[in-house]
Amino acid sequence: MNRRVTILGARSDIAMACAHAFAAAGDDLTLCARQSETLAEAAQDLELRHGGSVTLRELDVLDVDPQAFADDGDLPDVVICAVGVLGDQLLDQDNAAAIRSVLRANFEAPAALLSAYATAMEDRGSGVIVGISSVAGDRGRATNYVYGSAKAGFTAFLSGMRNRLAKTGVHVITVKPGFVDTRMTEDMDLPGALTAQPAEVGAAVLKAVERRQDVIYVRGVWRLIMGLIRLIPERIFKKLSL
Partner 1 sequence: MGTQTGISGKQADLSGWGRFPRLTGRLTRIRSLDALRKALGPHPVIARGNGRSYGDSAVQVQGTLDMRGMAHMLSFDDSTGVLVAQAGVLLGDVIDSFLPRGWFPPVTPGTKFVTLGGMLAADVHGKNHLRDGSIRQHVDWIEVLGPDGQIHRASASENPELFDWTLGGMGLTGVILRCALRLRRVETGYIRQSLHVAGNLDRAIEVFEVATSRYAVAWFDCLGQGAALGRSVVMLGDHAEPEDLEPAQRAAPYDIPRRRPLRMPVDAPGFALNRHTLRAFNAVYYRAQARKAGESLVDWDRYFYPLDTVLGWNRIYGGRGFAQYQVVIPLASARAGLTELLGAISDAGAGSFLAVLKRLGPEAGPISFPMEGYTLALDFPVSDAVLALLTRLDAITAAHGGRAYLAKDSRMTAETFHKTDPRAARFAAYRDGIGARGVFASAQSERVTL
User: Which residues carry out catalysis?
Assistant: 147
Residue 190 Cβ, how far from partner 1 at the closest point, in Å?
A: 11
DSSP tag of 170: E
2, 26, 35, 44: which one binds partner 1 (CB under 8 A):
44
110 touches 131 (CB < 8 A)? yes
Question: Smallest distance, Å, CB 184 to partner 1?
Answer: 10
Looking at residues 185 to 204 of the shown chain, list those that interact with partner 1 (rule: CB under 8 A).
Answer: 186-187, 189
Contact flags string 91-130 toward partner 1, x per CB under 8 A:
----------------------------------------
Shortest Å, Cβ 42 to partner 1: 6
- Sheet of 54-58: strand order equals 54-58, 28-33, 4-8, 78-81, 127-132, 170-176, 215-217
User: Could you tell me if 42 and 94 are in contact, meaning their C-beta atoms sit under 8 angstroms apart?
Assistant: no
CA distance 202 to 133: 14
183, 207, 212, 230: residue in contact with partner 1 (rule CB under 8 A): 183
Which positions from 45 to 64 touch partner 1 by CB under 8 A, shown as an x/- string? x--xxx--------------
Nearest alpha carbon to residue 12 among 146, 105, 122: 105
Residue pair 70/45 in contact by the 8 Å Cβ criterion: no
The answer to whether 143 contacts partner 1 (rule: CB under 8 A) is no
User: Quick one: which of 67, 88, 141, 199 contacts partner 1 (CB under 8 A)?
Assistant: 88
When the beta carbons of 120 and 184 are compared against partner 1, the nearer one is 184
Alpha carbon distance 158, 192 (integer Å): 29
Whose Cβ is closer to partner 1: residue 75's or residue 98's? Answer: 98
Dihedrals phi, psi of 235, to nearest 5 degrees:
-65, -25
Q: Which residues contribute to the site for partner 1 (CB under 8 A)?
A: 41-42, 44-45, 48-50, 88, 183, 186-187, 189
